[in-house]
Amino acid sequence: MFLVIRVRGTTGVIKNIADTLDMLRLNRISHAVLVEENPSYEGMLQKAKDYITWGEIDAETLAAVIARRGRLSGNVKVSDEYVAENTDYDNIEELAKALINSDVKLADVGIKPVFRLHPPRKGYEDIRLSVNEGGSLGYRGEEINNLAKRML
């Protein structure tokens, strides 16, 4: 499971890349979504790599993101009580593990697919360079967990 975060804005975006970002539901800077690891999504991520960053999220970080930034319809926060009443899981940590293993989807639980995060503490490295060049864009692997924690 990938966590994808939009890093750059909309100015000067080529139309087909803008359409890809819309399909990923990344409409604003610092919005994040969860996507599965399959060839379709990987192609979309490669196409939009100059505007986003992504990597494999772990269960602990996903639980923190859901607890702090997860929202239900009506802009209601996700709580352990809601998860226990409306799903087969007892708390947010168990739900996060099930999401990582693709046992359940956010839509099945009723959680909105987009997480509205804060800009990262200490800022982005460079929003015009890839991670390999010392910037913030592109695939960053396990380092996405550190970025997500800075953005909570």
In this prediction the pTM is 0.92
Extract the tokens encoding 28. 């604003």
Burial class (CB in 10 A: 0-12, 13-18, 19+), 74: exposed
> Rounded to an integer, what distance in angstroms lies between the CA atom of residue 32 and that of residue 65?
10
Model confidence pLDDT, tens digit, residues 53-77: 999 999 999 999 999 999 999 999 9
Q: Which helix (H) or strand (E) holds 71?
A: strand 71-72
Confidence of residue 10 (pLDDT cuts 50, 70, 90): confident
Give the C-alpha distances (Å, rounded to integers) separating 61 from 35, 43, 44, 111. 15, 25, 24, 17
